[in-house]
Structure 1
């Protein structure tokens, strides 16, 4: 079962947590949830709040859920769940109910999906959303390397409202 801690009590290295372990970004709209993996993001302090920053490309189905809700979750899973994370990152929720097929056990906390199999979940409330624009990049190499199709991410900044750990 989960217990709640403060964001400042998280002991994980954010570079390992986000870049290596990956996050499962999940949102629920109209009683249906969708999720996707993410390996880009940040945690920190903004506007006097503990926040996360994530980016999602416009073509991702989960983005439609995130854009229509106030809350979302970021699930962190043990390495034993790597196969599930690979599946969640490669199959689109447009074509199948990937949460059901993944075997994850879902419940909602403050409107955000939380999965029993996670080792930690951040329940977040959106504060800011802004599409990235090519003109704002100061390094053209970044655009050339990461955005050859000009499908720039949307940046979301969200307050961490709850941290649930096992």
Structure 2
């Protein structure tokens, strides 16, 4: 299903600052799906770490992905990725997407989430019909987190005992959709 023809979503054409968005609630408490790929192949994963703001004079979203995650293979190949936020009733589906690999199962089939495909500059990217808000992001910057960059070394010790440092993906938000 193409997002542009999907009833129930409207593209936000006014400034993004008009959207009611509390990042501490939406990212940290409600979680989100980061997704890359198209109808020929895609993967999604749940995240609860991320950043929304302004970088280089552009509205951006930053997500972080560990190197072993299957979604990393898709986002590395893609020009675009999506961030999909959901209402509270989807916590079970999001929990599943965060604890199972798309290498081993069909996350859409297992959770009942419906993939939809957004076209941006002739490139298709995957989001979900059940989402409350979708941000389409154009990949702008990627960097691996490095142990020598930790000023607070407690975070390195606490979160990276396996030394599987996240990669940061900063994406320019090029489209935003909200449920009507």
CA contact (8 A) 1:29 1:68 kept: no
Q: Segments of 4+ in structure 1 off by > 3 A?
A: none
Contact 1:7 1:160 in 2 (8 A): no
Looking at structure 2, the residues matched to 30 and 86 of structure 1 have their Cα atoms a distance apart, in angstroms, of 23
Name the CA distance, whole Å, in 2 between partners of 1:165 and 1:11: 10
- The answer on whether the counterparts of 1:131 and 1:155 sit within 8 Å (CA) in structure 2 is yes
2: distance between equivalents of 1:159 and 1:94? 28
- Distance across 1 between alignment mates of 2:9 and 2:39: 25
Question: Aligned runs of 1:1-166 on 2, under 5 Å?
Answer: 1-5=8-12, 6-28=15-37, 31-110=40-119, 111-166=124-179
CA–CA distance in 2 between the matches of 1:119 and 1:126? Answer: 22
Give the 3-state SS of the residue equivalent to 1:18 in structure 2: helix
How far is 1:137 from its partner? 1.1
Aligned length: 166
Contact kept in structure 2, 1:126 and 1:156, CA below 8 Å: yes
Per the alignment, in what secondary structure is the counterpart of residue 152 of structure 1?
coil
1:99-156 deviations in whole A, cap 9, x for unaligned? 2322111121122212110011111110000111111111111100110111000011
SS at the partner of 1:101? helix
Distance 1:144 1:36 in 2: 24
Q: TM-score, normalised by structure 2?
A: 0.89
Contact 1:40 1:55 in 2 (8 A): yes
What is the Cα-based RMSD across aligned positions, in Å? 1.1
Unaligned runs of 5+ in 1: none
Instruction: State the Cα distance separating 1:35 from its structure 2 match.
Output: 0.4
Cα 1:30–1:165, aligned 2, differ >3 Å: closer, same or farther?
Answer: closer
